[in-house]
Amino acid sequence: MKKRLVAAILTAAMALSLTACGGGGGDKSSSSGEGEQYYNIYLQTEPSTLDSIKGNDNYSWKILMNTMEPLTRLAEKDGEQVREPAGAESWESNDDGTVWTFKIRDNKWTDGKEVTAEDYAYGIRQTLNPDAGSPNSFFTADFIKNGAKVVNGEASVDELGVKVVDDKTLEITLEAPTPYFMSLTDTRACYPVRQDIAEQHGETYGSEADKYVSNGPFKVESWKHNSEVSLVKNPDYWDAENVKLDKVKYSIITDETAVFNSFDSGQLDWCSTGTEEWADRFDKKDNAERVDTTTPAMRFDFFNVNDKLFSNINIRKAFVLAVDREDMAKTIYQDMHIPAYWWVPQAISTGELGDYREQVDAPLEKMAKEEDAKELLLKGMEELGLGSDPSAITVKYSLSATTQWTRNYGEYVQQKYKEILGVNIELDFNEWTTFQQKTNSGEYQMGNMIWSTDYDDPMSMISLFTTANSGNIPTGWSNEKFDELIAKAGREMDEKTRVDLYHQAEEVLFNEGCNICPLVNEMEHSFHYNYVKNLNKKFTSTSGLKYVYIEGR
Amino acid sequence: MAKFIVKRVAYMLVTLLIVITATFFLMHSIPGDPLAHMARNLPEETRANYYEKYGLDKSTPEQYVIFMKNLLSKGEMGESLRYPGRQVTDTLVENSEVSAVPGGLALIIGLVIGILLGIVAALHKNKWPDYIVMFIAILGITVPVFVLASVLQYIFSVKLMVLPTTGWGSYKNVILPIIVLSFGTIATYARYVKSNMLDVMGQDYILTAEAKGVSRMNVIKRHVLKNAFLPCMTLLVGQVSGIFTGSFVVEKIFGIPGLGFYYINSINDRDYTMIIGTTIFAAALFVFVQLVVDIAYSLMDPRIRVK
């Protein structure tokens, strides 16, 4: 025994001293003889459920996107995003854009049943039914006729503006014209659900692979909890001839290093990294391609405007302007994310006009030119009667994690505010659940969060600050002019005017609110082996893996 | 003996009851909302329905009574708040079975190697075999498992490409986890057995045996080993119950769908039913194994026989 152990240690030592050999050749033994149309990727966490009504995590969303057929999909054609027919083969709206009629395509569920308009209607209704307890109701509650009333239990589900005209025709009536309504048709809130199957399994619907039916390009072959989700091509899918992949394996790997090791050894075909160190390492692989995309997610600070200090707009502005975003992106994020001088992130588009940020100036860049952080601070202090010594001010900065990274980050912020404004920052580290409770109940001064968009329209980000939605980022700020602009934008059918309204709203948000302090706009840095073709390049696309194929593995 | 067992079982139940009660009230007293994992705030009506469904709208003592009723009458611990539709008891059974494979094998291997190394070290005290064993033991105790795991993964999966990095289902998946998990056990037992043996070898009865002319081999076999092993059984209690509860770190690195994940994440998620479920499971295992060990002790060692 002793000998064997010594031998093992020697082997380990030898292996350590070996210099790079091979690398990326891949472990093909497990999949040989099946053709090359298989794709191995990963999920960072176990999906909560495959029930589109109950789940709202990104991990189950990835599985749903590939196994379910939404009414439409946002696909990429020649680098451009196109909304293409999916579960609906065509759609039209009445003249004022309040009634939308979808023609449901001939398609089959994995158990052989025909897909009907009723399946889509059931999914939409249940999402808004308060008895079903869906976290996804915010998508559609304000848009579909009587949606808000139904969610709040003031109207019955039958009164919802969703009507099944016949087996293949679905009619959705909106509260008012909603220019970006089509962007909601591929969210979870509009996914089809089979009533008979959902009711047959009750609470357990979607908790196992065999307690779930789907109608998309792939079907779930097996789901080993906390280990892997295997998908296979769905031969009964209406567009099966355009689906190239035969097998997709999602390994569930929560450990970052394990993910990178798996990609490095070829057991994964794709991976994304937020660390420069690994990105540099994968850059050296000549058989792998790097894709950098901005993602519609913001990292930001937010202020409690009910707090004495932050009730003053000049103080808030001072804190917003004092941040050296270039330096933060470099020092803290090693340029893996980009400095953000805006609230509506890059990667969000407005219908045919394309990327919103390309059409509109960055509000903070303008403000930085006109005003000075230190002056604003002193002005605000004077208004509050706090004297003129910034070092007398101490601000409690609440963070939503307790990791080493968060601690380093906190110290950086502490040091920077001391340097630029001369104020003291007291760090307050919390677990996410505690953080949420604290901020929701207003027991904080300044907090830090990440928010990513829910659907592809500036509305999904900017509407978070209307009085009605103020619970999500609880700053306590409310502004009538802002609310009006958002309400107007929500009904404006002309794209150009709408972009202008968003622009005005964003200006009001920063000039009169400044209750948030954008820091960085997130980016995704992903790597895939060269044999993986036709991956979506844009984060907001919803065609999933439908058009992905493998060539020359 | 029967009286002893009955008494111990009664103690065991009381201990469990205290653990369950304390955990139940403690977990409800920590701030945080089980719905916090949903980034968006739920509409009031939906939230109220959700709370009602899981009985979270009732006061903590009321919830406690309902929970105990279900546990004692039906053996049910309820549905996970984080993973809709999954019964906590099913999760416990399925995942502890997974954890038990690498955990059990690692314990057996670790025990065998650790004890052998300990004996070797004791018999060659202050000679080179002793130094090597103690070097390994110090490594095993000081090198954190996540470092060892990552290094092994890098060597065998990335460089040599002979073993998969993560996954579950093939014997190849358990090799590295077993090595990592057994390393600590080897280190612990090697040191423990060595010091126990040296302790016993210094006792008067060993001198007596040697004076009687018993061969060295027989002294070791009949007197030293038996007495040196007994204290090791105390260590076993924690390790045997640890087999089923799994290791969070090792399971995470190798992607093993064991129970370790739920111990940490249920608390972070405030998944109340899962927290109490995993706690009951760990506590029950621990007191049960302890009972077995105590009985074994009293059978083997007349010095601690119970009245």
Q: What is the pLDDT of residues B122-156, one digit of tens each?
A: 999 999 999 999 999 999 989 999 999 999 999 99
pLDDT value of residue A458? 94
Averaged pLDDT for residues B163-170: 92
Is B268 near chain A, with CB under 8 Å? Answer: yes
Is B52 near chain A, with CB under 8 Å? Answer: no
Binned at pLDDT 50, 70 and 90, residue B306 comes out as low
pLDDT value of residue B39? 59
pLDDT at A27 over 50: no
Computed from CA positions of residues B100, B101, B103, B104, in that sequence, does the dihedral angle turn out positive or negative? positive
pLDDT value of residue B305? 62
**What's chain B's average pLDDT?**
90
Instruction: Give me the residue spans of the domains in chain A.
Output: 2-269+531-550, 296-523
Binned at pLDDT 50, 70 and 90, residue A352 comes out as confident
pLDDT at A20 over 50: no
Binned at pLDDT 50, 70 and 90, residue B33 comes out as confident
Cβ of A15 and B46 within 8 Å? no
Binned at pLDDT 50, 70 and 90, residue B30 comes out as confident
Averaged pLDDT for residues A143-148: 94
What does the pLDDT look like over A356-390, one tens digit per residue? 999 999 999 999 999 999 999 999 999 999 999 99
Dihedral angle over CA of B48, B52, B54, B56, nearest 10: 80
> By mean pLDDT, which of A76-80, B32-36, B178-182 is the weakest?
B32-36
pLDDT at A259 over 80: yes
Residue of B122, B71, B94 lying closest to B277 (CA atoms): B71
Residue of A nearest to B158 (CA): A265
Q: A25 Cβ partners below 8 Å, 6+ apart?
A: A266, B161
Question: Which chain B residues are within 8 Å of A228, Cβ to Cβ?
Answer: 167-168
**Closest Cα in chain A, distance from residue B165 (Å):** 6
Binned at pLDDT 50, 70 and 90, residue B46 comes out as confident
pLDDT at A28 over 50: no
Cβ of B161 and A440 within 8 Å? no
Residue of B nearest to A198 (CA): B85
Architecture of the A2-269+531-550 domain: 3-Layer(aba) Sandwich (3.40)
pLDDT at B295 over 50: yes
Cβ of B255 and A258 within 8 Å? yes
pLDDT value of residue B241? 85
Q: What count of other Cβ atoms lies within 10 Å of the Cβ of residue B28?
A: 17
**Closest Cα in chain B, distance from residue A1 (Å):** 7
> By mean pLDDT, which of A40-49, A420-429, B211-220 is the weakest?
B211-220
What CATH class has A296-523?
alpha beta
**Closest Cα in chain A, distance from residue B233 (Å):** 22
pLDDT at A279 over 80: yes
Averaged pLDDT for residues B209-222: 88
Question: ipTM of the assembly?
Answer: 0.86
Averaged pLDDT for residues A65-76: 96
Q: Which of A227, A299, A473 has the most B C-beta neighbours within 10 Å, making it the best mutation to test the interface with B?
A: A227
Cβ of A228 and B82 within 8 Å? no
Q: A516 Cβ partners below 8 Å, 6+ apart?
A: A300, A301, A302, A303, A320, A343, A465, A473, A475, A509
Computed from CA positions of residues A474, A476, A482, A487, in that sequence, does the dihedral angle turn out positive or negative? positive
Cβ of A262 and B44 within 8 Å? no
pLDDT at B107 over 90: yes
Question: Which chain A residues are within 8 Å of B34, Cβ to Cβ?
Answer: 433
pLDDT at A17 over 60: no
Vertex B223, ends B222 and B229: CA angle to 5°? 95
Q: How many residues comprise chain B?
A: 307
pLDDT value of residue A191? 96
Q: Which of B45, B169, B254 sits opposite A151 (nearest CB)?
A: B45
**What's chain A's average pLDDT?**
90
Q: Which of B29, B30, B41, B254 has the most A C-beta neighbours within 10 Å, making it the best mutation to test the interface with A?
A: B41
Residue of A263, A116, A291 lying closest to A194 (CA atoms): A116
Question: Which chain B residues are within 8 Å of A188, Cβ to Cβ?
Answer: none
pLDDT at A14 over 80: no
